[in-house]
Amino acid sequence: MNVVNHFIPLGYAVYGIDHLGHGKSDGTRVYVKGFNDYIDTLSVYVDMVRKWQPGKPSFLLGHSMGALVSALFLLDHQAGLTGAILSGPSVKVPSNTSPITISMVKLLSTLLPKVRLLQLEAEGVSRDPAVVHAYVSDPLVHTRKTTARLTHEILKAMQRITAEASKITLPVLIVQGSADRLVNPDGARMLYSAVSSVDKTIEIYDGLYHEVFNEPEHGQVLDDVEAWLEFRLVLLRSPALR
């Protein structure tokens, strides 16, 4: 809610989507037949937002796995977007994941796609105990293990981003906590180096955990995002400054 509460009073229209199998969306929890199901749904949603806000600049913001979905979306659908903000992007296969592990996950994804494999550490979400409590208490947040199919699809999506991130050329802002215990900050650095955008920025916040928008210092993070957005909007209004 911090993002919404910050940007709505500034005159921004903010829209959010629950991915398939998450939040209020239909589908088996944390399960997807293929990662492109997320991409196709997001494509439809972005088109809807453009119809609701005709002629307005549009920025895509994705966090964690949502940043992976967003980055993959940008590979084929960045035209028409003004820019993208990727927070704590889960875009890099963990360095301790061996080829054997990847093969085993692939096998389980085929034979037992709904078997549960991995679970996130709730305490790694934020250094604010109230945020962690809200996270584990929210019935719309899935705090149990992720399915084998989704795990495999995430790994495949990460591999594609690593190989094809150079296709991304629009303005990009990446925000990342240096003490993130859920997503290795090296993924954010890798993505920043790989994208071909002339206009790209990365902000690594010292000591912050995974959800930088929900950390005690979220005000500074949101101010930085606001400044980044406002400058890009000034550039749109003043072509001579580009």
Residue 10 β-bridge partners = none
- Catalytic residue among 64, 70, 87, 126, which? 64
- Is 126 annotated in the active site? no
**If you write DSSP's letter for every residue of 197-219 in order, what string do you get?**
-SSEEEEEETT--S-GGGSTTHH
Could you give the CA distance from residue 142 to residue 128 in angstroms, rounded to a whole number? Answer: 19
Q: Is 9 exposed, middle or buried (0-12, 13-18, 19+ CB in 10 A)?
A: exposed
Residue 84 β-bridge partners = 60, 172
Q: Give the closest residue to 90 by CA, choosing from 105, 76, 70.
A: 70
Q: Report in angstroms the alpha-carbon separations of 15 from 3, 121, 138, 200, 219.
A: 11, 27, 20, 23, 20
- Catalytic residue among 87, 90, 109, 180, which? 180
- Catalytic residue among 6, 22, 63, 210, which? 210
- Is 180 annotated in the active site? yes
- Is 103 annotated in the active site? no
Q: Tell me which residues are annotated as active site.
A: 64, 180, 210
